[in-house]
Amino acid sequence: MLALAGCATGPSIRYTDDMFYPDPAATQFGIASYYVAGWFGIGEQTASGERFHQYEMTAAHKTLPFGTFVRVTNLRNGRHTIARITDRGPFVRGRIIDLSKTGAKDIGILDAGTAQVRLDVLIPLRSRPAVAAYGG
């Protein structure tokens, strides 16, 4: 049963805003695009060594470390998605991120193919330093 988990036809993990806090020093603006099976085949190995699945919440970025979480917000419609960096790219001038098909659907770019976006690097809450609470 466990071996079949990677063969799911829908997203296996959905990330939500309440799981993260943004890194205020790590915001980028640019163009997002997406890649799907046919261009980059389902199950092909990404630069991180993981297998690509268009329904997973993953993305490609030129420089962010693998495993980094990002929130990508479409500046035209305000829709956003959260994805994990698992690959390198995009390799088209002016583009800052390639989303999986599910991520592209979330922000509404399946038809247009690209959009101006804001990219915020996110830090999982579980890695946030503990803050002592003092009574007053």
pLDDT digits (tens, 9 = 90+) for 30-83: 999 998 655 555 567 888 888 778 888 999 999 999 999 999 999 999 999 999
- In this structure, is residue 132 part of a structural domain? no
Give the count of domains, the chain: 1
- In this structure, is residue 133 part of a structural domain? no
Owning domain of residue 115:
11-125
Please give the Cα distance from 71 to 16 (Å, whole number): 10
Report the CATH number that the domain containing residue 54 is assigned in CATH.
Answer: 2.40.40.10
Q: Read off the DSSP letter of residue 112.
A: T
Tokens standing for residue 105 = 């659907």
Q: Read off the DSSP letter of residue 3.
A: G
Counting residues of the chain whose pLDDT is more than 90, the rounded percentage is: 59
Comparing 17-21, 23-27, 32-36, 49-53, which segment has the lowest mean pLDDT?
49-53
3-state SS assignment for residue 5: helix
Q: Report pLDDT for 128.
A: 54
- In this structure, is residue 136 part of a structural domain? no
Tell me whether residue 30 is exposed, middle or buried, using C-beta atoms within 10 angstroms of its C-beta: 0 to 12, 13 to 18, 19 or more.
Answer: middle
- In this structure, is residue 88 part of a structural domain? yes
- In this structure, is residue 4 part of a structural domain? no
- In this structure, is residue 134 part of a structural domain? no
- In this structure, is residue 130 part of a structural domain? no
Please give the Cα distance from 19 to 13 (Å, whole number): 12
- In this structure, is residue 3 part of a structural domain? no
